[in-house]
Amino acid sequence: MSEHPILRYVSAGAWALIEPLFSDRAKDLLIKLIDFMESDILPSEALFHSQISPDPKKRWESVPAVLGSLQKRAKELGLWNLWLSGGDFQGMAGGEGGGLSNLEYAVMAEIMGHSAILAPQATNCSAPDTGNMEVLARYGTQAQKDKYLTPLLNGEIRSSFSMTEYGVASSDATNLGNTTATLDPAKNSLSLSGHKWWITGAGDPRNIVHIVLAVTDPKNPSPHKRHSLVLVDPRAQGVKIIRPLTVFGYDDAPEGHCEVVYDNVKVDVDSGVVGGKAGLGRGFEIIQARLGPGRLHHCMRTIGIASRALDILLQRVSDPNRKTFGKYLKEHGTVVADIAHSRAEIDQARLLVLAAARRIDTEGAKGAMQDIGITKFTVPTMALKVVDRAMQVHGAEGVSADTPLPYFYASLRTLRYADGPDEVHIQQIGKKELKRVEDLKARTDKIRRDSERLLQANGLTRAKL
Ligand SMILES: Cc1cc2nc3c(=O)[nH]c(=O)nc-3n(C[C@H](O)[C@H](O)[C@H](O)COP(=O)(O)OP(=O)(O)OC[C@H]3O[C@@H](n4cnc5c(N)ncnc54)[C@H](O)[C@@H]3O)c2cc1C
């Protein structure tokens, strides 16, 4: 039997560990996905970029046409909504596509990470839509599902998740208070005002819904019950997209990461609060559920970005036209060491991601929080190192737009903030580790006592050793 093409991407050791957990359908989908990446997605990247207008206004008005043909092809191949795991979402994707385990999807997402700009969009697996679909699927009313979830699943519209506030230290979500939605009980409606920024996807002409975190019950004694998620149509009166922000100069048009002001936007409670009236005050509960798998999806793709950077590095250092100090680049010891470290670090990080994905499958996102948190602050940093090495071997070209490396670097660097900065996850993991101390001390004390007994039984004391 011929070797599975995944072995061109994933170490044989990792595949041996996870292959028994892959269904035959997932293995077949993976073959199709790899072929789709190599035959359609990667060759289309240059065309995709060329179809984004350089005009500062026009670049926000349309979506590159090649994306439409790639989406059509992905649907035909059954490579649509792959992120929709089984369990809660069973059947939602309709036939081919969803229903994979998180572990199976982790490998698919890694492969998509080789073209993180195009593959997730082409297969309807991109953030922030995936997380938003999850919110609507789990917590939305039937009417909200019909209005937003179905077209999102079909790739007909886009959405934003609007949480980070201008001028507010937003990594501590209890600080979020500049966006309020005041209830008018007589009209059963909310008036929402606030100032957000870094809202991904808010520049996209297809976007018809922002899921906005807003204070609806400022006096609630629990800071975790003051907020709700409110569905806002960006075309509604009072919504102002102030500007697209840039990341090291990249604006990610036409999706963008935008500063947005909501000025007295009127929203009906039943149709506009996620979950209707019952959803009031549940904002924090819902964002927690949303962020778990979403954070891991980023890490899954990040492994693919790092792998592609290593592939680019390998080809550059093997260029027969480049010799320095009498040797080809690949013959210098530091270059060989960079290659080895990159290989080892990618393979280590993948195992963390796979373990987290498996834990979601077996214990749910809540049970996997520790594993997800560890991947969140280790995987992007690992990938940044690999990309940096790849840039370095390119000389000055490595920081130019003639390679995709600077874009990889910029997008990976943002992951150290997006969905919460590293330090917040590091703090949580560190605190959780410290909780082991009591048990650890008890076990260590027992080992010490047993050791003393053994020494005494043999006529020894510790002082004589
Ligand atoms: C490209 C991009 C896309 C984004 N997309 C979205 C989006 O779609 N929707 C959205 O709502 N937001 C989005 N964000 C915003 C992102 O989620 C926030 O930037 C992030 O949550 C941090 O909030 P902040 O910027 O207010 O940083 P602050 O809260 O001001 O924190 C600043 C720094 O303080 C330090 N810090 C914080 N807590 C601790 C701690 N416990 N210990 C030690 N140091 C600490 C960290 O170094 C942190 O980076 C995006 C950001 C980027 C860059």
Q: What number of other Cβ atoms are within 10 A of residue 57's Cβ?
A: 7
Does the Cβ of 414 fall within 6 Å of ligand 1?
Answer: yes
Q: What is the pLDDT of residues 402-424, one digit of tens each?
A: 999 999 999 999 999 998 999 99
Given this model, what pLDDT does residue 9 score?
97
How far apart are the CA of 421 and the centre of ligand 1, in A? 5
Q: Is the dihedral of CA 397, 377, 200, 90 positive or negative?
A: positive
How far apart are the CA of 200 and the centre of ligand 1, in A? 13
pTM, rounded to two decimals: 0.95
Query: Relative to the CA of 420, which ligand 1 atom is closest?
Result: 21
Given this model, what pLDDT does residue 293 score?
82
Contact indicator for 337, 392 with CB cutoff of 8 Å: no
Own/partner pairs, 329-332, CB within 8 angstroms, 24+ separation: 329/393
Confidence of residue 461 (pLDDT cuts 50, 70, 90): confident
Contact indicator for 212, 194 with CB cutoff of 8 Å: yes
Given this model, what pLDDT does residue 91 score?
56
Does the Cβ of 174 fall within 6 Å of ligand 1?
Answer: no
Query: Relative to the CA of 416, which ligand 1 atom is closest?
Result: 49
Does the Cβ of 176 fall within 6 Å of ligand 1?
Answer: no
Angle of helix 42-50 versus helix 65-76 axis, rounded to 10: 150
Q: What is the pLDDT of residues 245-274, one digit of tens each?
A: 999 999 999 999 999 999 999 999 999 999
Query: Relative to the CA of 128, which ligand 1 atom is closest?
Result: 8
Domain covering 287-430 in this structure, CATH number: 1.20.140.10
| Substitution candidate for ligand 1 out of 126, 165, 166, 171 with most atoms within 8 A of CB | 171
Does the Cβ of 76 fall within 6 Å of ligand 1?
Answer: no
How far apart are the CA of 259 and the centre of ligand 1, in A? 14
- Mean predicted lDDT score pLDDT of the chain: 95
β-bridge partners, 194? 262
Q: For 195, phi and psi rounded to 5 degrees? A: -135, 110
Query: Relative to the CA of 163, which ligand 1 atom is closest?
Result: 11
Q: What is the pLDDT of residues 4-42, one digit of tens each?
A: 999 999 999 999 999 999 999 999 999 999 999 999 999
How far apart are the CA of 313 and the centre of ligand 1, in A? 31
Does the Cβ of 247 fall within 6 Å of ligand 1?
Answer: yes
Q: What is the pLDDT of residues 100-145, one digit of tens each?
A: 999 999 999 999 999 999 999 999 999 999 999 999 999 999 999 9
* Mean pLDDT of the region 159-187: 96
Does the Cβ of 170 fall within 6 Å of ligand 1?
Answer: yes
Fold of 158-273: Butyryl-CoA Dehydrogenase, subunit A; domain 2 (2.40.110)
Alpha helix (H) ranges present in 114-235?
A: 119-122, 129-139, 142-144, 150-153
Given this model, what pLDDT does residue 85 score?
77
Q: How many CA atoms lie within 13 A of 288 on its CB side?
A: 15
Does the Cβ of 424 fall within 6 Å of ligand 1?
Answer: yes
**Does the structure show a pLDDT above 80 at 94?**
no
**Does the structure show a pLDDT above 50 at 95?**
no
How far apart are the CA of 458 and the centre of ligand 1, in A? 60
* Mean pLDDT of the region 448-453: 96
Angle of helix 283-317 versus helix 369-393 axis, rounded to 10: 30
Query: Relative to the CA of 427, which ligand 1 atom is closest?
Result: 41
- Report how far apart, in Å, the C-alpha atoms of 202 and of each of 161, 239, 418 are: 9, 11, 16
Contact indicator for 402, 395 with CB cutoff of 8 Å: no
Given this model, what pLDDT does residue 13 score?
95
Tokens of 206: 């297809």
Class (C level, CATH) for 5-126: mainly alpha
Q: What is the pLDDT of residues 352-399, one digit of tens each?
A: 999 999 999 999 888 999 999 999 999 999 999 999 999 999 999 999
**Does the structure show a pLDDT above 90 at 290?**
no
Does the Cβ of 162 fall within 6 Å of ligand 1?
Answer: yes
Q: Whose CA is nearest to atom 11 of ligand 1?
A: 163
Given this model, what pLDDT does residue 89 score?
59
Q: Whose CA is nearest to atom 35 of ligand 1?
A: 423
Q: Which residues contact 373 (CB under 8 A, 6 or more apart)?
A: 425, 428, 429
Given this model, what pLDDT does residue 88 score?
57
Higher pLDDT, 17 or 86: 17
Does the Cβ of 427 fall within 6 Å of ligand 1?
Answer: yes
* Mean pLDDT of the region 184-192: 95
Query: Relative to the CA of 247, which ligand 1 atom is closest?
Result: 1
**Does the structure show a pLDDT above 90 at 2?**
no
How far apart are the CA of 173 and the centre of ligand 1, in A? 10
Distance CA 35, CA 203 (A): 32
Does the Cβ of 197 fall within 6 Å of ligand 1?
Answer: no
What are the boundaries of each domain within the chain?
Answer: 5-126, 158-273, 287-430, 435-465
The backbone region for 25, taken as left when phi is positive above 0, alpha when psi lies in -120 to 50, beta otherwise, is alpha
Query: Relative to the CA of 200, which ligand 1 atom is closest?
Result: 8
* Mean pLDDT of the region 329-338: 98
Does the Cβ of 144 fall within 6 Å of ligand 1?
Answer: no
